[in-house]
Structure formats: structure tokens, C-alpha cells
Amino acid sequence: MDAARAPRAERAPGRTLDRLQAGPVIDTVERLHRRIDARFATRGLSDVAAELTVLARDVAEGSGAIRGRLRVTRLLSRVLVGAVVVAAVVTLWVALRDAVSGGPDRGFEWLPLIESAVNDLVFTAIAVWFLVALPSRLERGRLLGLLHRLRSLAHIIDMHQLTKDPERLREGYESTAQSVDPGLGRAAMEHYLDYCSELLSLVGKTAALCAEESRDDVVLATVATVERLTTEMSSKIWQKISLLPD
């Protein structure tokens, strides 16, 4: 019984398992950055890991700030929606009262009044739709900007591993004048490719943090695209690792 309860007791206080937490993701990215810097300090991969750390922090720190701005924006939009609806109702009521009390005597003369009322209703509906959707659009714009940076970073990581060809380490390999020498031995190349795969995985995890902050269809679709992209790139890297000579 005590052994079964042990995992529950070891759970960190305030830590839930129903959503991805930003803190552990940032800690993992920072730890990976230190590992890469310790082994490949003079290579650009360390700078890529540092940039991913900045992105992960931007996602985490921006979440709290955007929530506050969104609350204010939603409150203002609701006040404006109420004001627009009240103004439209009052305008239609005044126009209808004047038309009934001293309006046209013939039926066809009511057509301009009806057309004006329909136009007022249409423009009121457009204004209400715009104001209701405004907070979500602001949130979508911020998250899509972060996801675009993450997608670009994934391609940069892929460029770093592109020239790390395991075939160069095989006996009998013949290079040409255009061959790129990565300057890595077998063990170093394995570490390098492994770090690239870990970075891609953490790019996907950072993108998933954006999905924790929004249920917007465009944001969720972009997150899925970034996750699929990093998974495919990581699969190519592991194919290279499997081809390293023993």
C-alpha cells in the first residue's frame, strides 16, 4: 500500500499533470544548453540552444502578461458591445416611433425607412462581431509570431545536422573537392546528432506550450504543424545515428 502511494507523494506541490508546465520545459532547455556548451562551445549549435531558451521564456513570460491584457480587452469589448447594441436599439426605436406617429401615408414610402433599419442592423452586427473577436485575434497574433520563430529555429537546427554525414566515417570513403568536413569523430558526431534531435524535441514542446494558452483553431493547427515538422526532422537524424559505423 505504501509503495503504491509513493509516486503520488513525490509529486511536486502545485504541479498538475493535466497540462504541460512551462517551468520544466525551460529547465530542460537550459540544461541541454549547458550540455551542448560543455562539449561544443565553439560551434553554432550552442547559440541555437541559447535562442531556444529565450523563446521558451518568452512563451512562459508572455502568457501571464497576455492574460492580463486579454482580460482588459475583453472587458472593454463587452462594454463597447453593450454601448453599440443600446445605441442601435434606441436609434431604431426613435425611428420607428417617428415613422408611426408622422410617417408616410403610402406603403411604398416605407421602403427607404425599412432599408435604413436593415442597414443599421447589419452594421451593428458587424461591429459586435468585430469587438467580440478582437481579444482572440490579439492572442492569436502573439502566439503565431512565437510559433513562426520556433518553426524557423527548427529549420536552423536541421541545417546544422545537414552536413553531418555518417558515410564520411566509413572505411573507403572517398571525398571530393566539394565535400564538407564536419571535423567530428564517430563519438562526437553521435553526440552532435543526438543534441540536434533533443533540440528539435524541445522545439516541439515549446510549441505545445502555445497550445496550452489558446484553443484557437489556427493556433492549434500551427502547433500541430510545428510538432509534425520537428518529428520528421528528428526521424531523419536518428536514421543518420543508426548508420554510424561501429
DSSP string, 6-26: HHHHTSPTT--SSS--HHHHH
With beta carbons less than 8 A apart as the criterion, state whether 86 and 59 touch: no
pLDDT for the residue 104: 54
pLDDT for the residue 95: 63
Integer CA distances (angstroms), 99 to 11, 25, 86, 120, 225, in order: 71, 65, 20, 16, 57
With beta carbons less than 8 A apart as the criterion, state whether 70 and 137 touch: no
pTM of the model: 0.68
pLDDT for the residue 182: 76
* Average pLDDT rounded to a whole number, residues 18-40: 89
Q: Is the pLDDT score of 2 beyond 50? A: no
* Confidence at 110, pLDDT banded by 50, 70, 90: low
Integer CA distances (angstroms), 100 to 89, 109, 121, 127, 210, in order: 16, 13, 19, 28, 56
Query: What SS3 state is found at 193?
Result: helix
pLDDT for the residue 71: 65
For helices 45-102 and 22-39, give the axis angle rounded to 10 degrees.
150
Q: Is the pLDDT score of 139 beyond 70? A: yes
Residue % of the chain over a pLDDT of 70: 66
* Confidence at 6, pLDDT banded by 50, 70, 90: very low
Q: Is the pLDDT score of 106 beyond 60? A: no
- Name the more confident of 20 and 201: 201
pLDDT for the residue 8: 47
* Average pLDDT rounded to a whole number, residues 208-214: 80
Q: How far apart are CA 212 and CA 243, in angstroms?
A: 37
- Name the more confident of 161 and 2: 161
pLDDT for the residue 153: 94
Residue with grid cell 510538432, as numbered in its chain: 227
In this predicted model, what pLDDT tens digit does every residue of 161-210 receive, in sequence order? 888 888 777 777 777 777 777 778 888 889 999 999 999 999 999 999 88
With beta carbons less than 8 A apart as the criterion, state whether 206 and 25 touch: yes
Q: How far apart are CA 43 and CA 39, in angstroms?
A: 9
pLDDT for the residue 5: 45
Q: Is the pLDDT score of 101 beyond 70? A: no
Q: Is the pLDDT score of 240 beyond 50? A: yes
pLDDT for the residue 235: 93
With beta carbons less than 8 A apart as the criterion, state whether 203 and 157 touch: yes
The C-alpha cell at 194 is 543526438
* Confidence at 9, pLDDT banded by 50, 70, 90: very low
Report the candidate in 41, 31, 24 with the shortest Cα–Cα distance to residue 198: 31
pLDDT for the residue 177: 74
pLDDT for the residue 35: 94
pLDDT for the residue 228: 94
Strand ranges for 24-98 from DSSP E: none
Q: Is the pLDDT score of 158 beyond 90? A: yes
